[in-house]
Structure 1
């Protein structure tokens, strides 16, 4: 299993995340609406708004997963925030970075992952909108565009909350 690296701007990123004052807060309809829609549109069992903290990924919205957080060192979202675009894993069992990850070998038996980084003003990636399936799958460009659009909705909500 490959643990996610810390971004070069990790201390600045964590400061921005703290400034959001959203970690460990109650669920909010504005985020839950998006994860419910993502789960339905993409026909996946799990959709999350995940915020990547120092040692954990915490779920601001979780549709289809009972956990409220998982360790960052096993998170797919920790990898996703390192890139600019969609982080796509069609089959985690065939990916050397994840095939022995406890989220793959045990519950929720993750196979497919697609996550899009969520940014604060200034470009700091603080989390993802992600969808997860227990079956391997591929996405069309149209489906990826729809996921990007939903991620922009979440990102706009986070940015509106930033500094308020």
Structure 2
């Protein structure tokens, strides 16, 4: 496996974790994009794969039952080091992958094509990829479609992150409003207590009482 520069990888992982998407439940919007990729590319398997520190985890999957694999056996770990599509026409002929458990045993991957999921600030979180059990290639239109769909995956990840941040901000605001209301109530109660206990500062003089007809 290609090892990216340590500083770059540390930053990439930090960005990935900020999305708080790892180990979350399936979501229809991501499954729809994965299914569309499989259909357009005529592939029996498709994944939204996020490359974590020591594993790749699948946010969405078509044609596979496993939810993650070791990063050391990952096609996607190579794909995130490149800006464009990463294509392996026949994994059995590629020394990087020929001995991979994913190739020599089930699901017996022969073909891989992955488009990196690149964030607005340039970090590759993982890939949208399609896989097949036979050696093959993608046509030009299929390649372009895979790139476009990968962009939509990133857009949905961004929307998911911003929605979570907005909800967190709203909850924090509600908490602050509650604290402010409590503080106001406490200040009002303290003011009332002071008003009841404080002596008169300027009592009326006898002269003023006489002037008003008082004795």
Unaligned runs of 5+ in 1: none
Structure number having the greater helix percentage: 2
Query: How far apart are the structure 2 equivalents of 1:46 and 1:6?
Result: 27
Residues 69-107 of structure 1 deviation map (CA, whole Å, 9 limit, x = unaligned): 000010000110000000000111111211111111111
TM-score by length of 1: 0.94
Bigger relative contact order, structure 1 or 2, given CA contacts below 8 A and separation 6+? 1
User: Is 2:152 aligned against 1:145?
Assistant: no
2:3 to 5, 10, 18: 5
Query: What is aligned with 2:85?
Result: 86
Matches within 5 A, 1:113-124: 113-124=112-123
**1:34-67: per-residue Cα shift (whole Å, max 9, x none)?**
1111112222111000000000000000111000
TM-score if structure 2 supplies the norm length? 0.72
Are 1:130 and 2:129 counterparts? yes
Residue 67 to residue 7, structure 1, CA distance change in 2 (3 Å): farther
CA distance in 2, matches of 1:126, 1:12: 11
- Asked if the contact 1:4/1:73 (under 8 Å) is kept, the reply is no
- The total of aligned residue pairs comes to 162
Q: Deviating runs (4+, > 3 A) in structure 1?
A: none
Structure showing the higher strand proportion among its residues: 1
